[in-house]
Amino acid sequence: MIYTITANPSIDYVLQLDQLKTGEVNRSTNDVKLPGGKGINVSRILKELSIDTTSLGFVGGATGEMFKNLLATHNLKTSFTNVKDDTRINVKINAVKQDIETEVNGTGPSISLEEKDSFMNQLRVVGDGDVIIMAGSLPKQLPDTFYLDIAKTIQKQGAEFIIDTTGQALLDTLSSHPLVVKPNHHELAELFDVEFKNESEIVEYARKLLDLGAKHVMISMAGDGALLVSKDHAYKANAPKGTVINSVGAGDSMIAGFVGAFMETGDPIESFHIGAACGSATAFSQDIAVKEKIDQVYNDITITNID
């Protein structure tokens, strides 16, 4: 079983307008409310790929009920921990003619020790053959080591893990050997305080993450495609042609495609191909991509060995 953890889920209120004028009244041309959170996005993509998951996380208050109602339309298996405080609302503004996206994210609920313990008790069922994908920010009162503590716990029970994070938090996970990490090329450069002049340097520093313990490294490069790097080989996925409508969830979709395929096939190259297709298909969609779009984009992607 694949478990996704979204510790700080949200209602994503996505607004589209022609231009964003600060300090003035703006009127949207379109708006939609979506169940948000990086782990939720992963579960939704895996559902499109006919792979079952169980979504875990903290939800609470009136907005928590609204969140669960929005999520119910996607027929996901969930086991949320109810908390006293309200689930947050994030506002995403897409100014089409300016080609800019602006986000205002809520802070989320405070989690009590009792609520945290209730959540941790659910992890006792995780074991051999399972994988946990942890993604997104943490709500208040949870320690910065929350995800890493979970990883260490479930590893003792025989499960694999992925933590989708950046910076020092990413580096701290590597000695526990995550199944895959996926920084973008800017985040990778920031990790090592360097500037990349070419693709070969990106591959070189991706392999440093392998040396530190990661099992696979994917690097997303926006319009330049993506890389999958191992100690012996490096592969590139081209960026398929399409109009980027909403980049929210694209990285989550890429991880979902890779992990879902890898758990079924054990083939990192095919998993990378599917992951790249999922990421681009979501970027070309207003919401998380559907299977038809993923299949279409998959056929436009070629995986090349660049060693």
253 plus 141 within the same structural domain: no
Domain count, the chain: 2
69 plus 209 within the same structural domain: no
Start-to-end CA span in the chain (Å): 34
Higher confidence at residue 295 or residue 245? 295
Beta-ladder partners of 95: 17, 100
- What value does the mean pLDDT of the chain take? 93
Residue in 101, 79, 75 with CA at minimum distance from that of residue 90: 101
> Of 232, 252, 287, 295, which is the active-site residue?
252
Please tell me the predicted confidence (pLDDT) of residue 168.
Answer: 84
The residues near 167 (Cβ < 8 Å, ≥ 6 apart) are 187, 190, 191
Q: Is residue 175 part of a domain?
A: no
Give the whole-number percent of the chain exceeding pLDDT 70: 100
pLDDT in tens, 223-240: 899 999 988 899 999 999
Q: Residues 242, 225: contact at Cβ < 8 Å?
A: no
Q: Is residue 173 part of a domain?
A: no
192 plus 84 within the same structural domain: no
Predicted confidence (pLDDT) at residue 8 exceeds the cutoff of 90: yes
Tell me how far apart the alpha carbons of residues 221 and 236 are, in angstroms, rounded to a whole number: 10
Please tell me the predicted confidence (pLDDT) of residue 287.
Answer: 84
Tell me how far apart the alpha carbons of residues 46 and 27 are, in angstroms, rounded to a whole number: 35
Q: Is residue 187 part of a domain?
A: yes
Predicted confidence (pLDDT) at residue 248 exceeds the cutoff of 80: no
Q: Residues 1, 53: contact at Cβ < 8 Å?
A: yes
Q: Which of 164, 191, 217 is the endpoint of a domain?
A: 164
8 plus 128 within the same structural domain: yes
* Domain coverage including residue 158: 1-22+29-164
Predicted confidence (pLDDT) at residue 63 exceeds the cutoff of 90: yes
The CATH number that applies at residue 45 is 3.40.1190.20
Please tell me the predicted confidence (pLDDT) of residue 137.
Answer: 86
197 plus 159 within the same structural domain: no
Beta strands at 100-104 and 2-6: parallel, antiparallel or unpaired: unpaired
Residue 86 pLDDT grade (very low, low, confident, very high; cuts 50, 70, 90): very high
Give the whole-number percent of the chain exceeding pLDDT 90: 83
Residue in 285, 288, 251, 245 with CA at minimum distance from that of residue 94: 245
45 plus 124 within the same structural domain: yes
Q: Is residue 74 part of a domain?
A: yes
Higher confidence at residue 52 or residue 307? 52
33 plus 159 within the same structural domain: yes
Please tell me the predicted confidence (pLDDT) of residue 87.
Answer: 97
12 plus 143 within the same structural domain: yes
Residue in 67, 87, 89 with CA at minimum distance from that of residue 140: 87
Q: Is residue 131 part of a domain?
A: yes
Residue 136 pLDDT grade (very low, low, confident, very high; cuts 50, 70, 90): confident
State both tokens at 184.
């973008």
110 plus 243 within the same structural domain: no
120 plus 232 within the same structural domain: no
User: Is 232 tagged catalytic?
Assistant: no
Q: Is residue 35 part of a domain?
A: yes
150 plus 269 within the same structural domain: no
Q: Is residue 252 part of a domain?
A: yes
- Give buried/exposed letters for 25-43 (b at 16+ CB in 10 A, else e): eeeeeeeeebbbbbbbbbb
Please tell me the predicted confidence (pLDDT) of residue 133.
Answer: 96
Q: Is residue 174 part of a domain?
A: no
Please tell me the predicted confidence (pLDDT) of residue 164.
Answer: 87
Q: Residues 135, 57: contact at Cβ < 8 Å?
A: no
Amino acid at 191: L
Q: Residues 30, 16: contact at Cβ < 8 Å?
A: yes
Please tell me the predicted confidence (pLDDT) of residue 245.
Answer: 83
216 plus 78 within the same structural domain: no
pLDDT in tens, 32-47: 898 989 999 999 999 9
Q: Which of 164, 188, 223 is the endpoint of a domain?
A: 164
Q: Which of 101, 129, 164 is the endpoint of a domain?
A: 164
Please tell me the predicted confidence (pLDDT) of residue 118.
Answer: 96
Q: Phi-psi bin for 255: left (phi > 0), alpha (psi -120 to 50), beta?
A: alpha
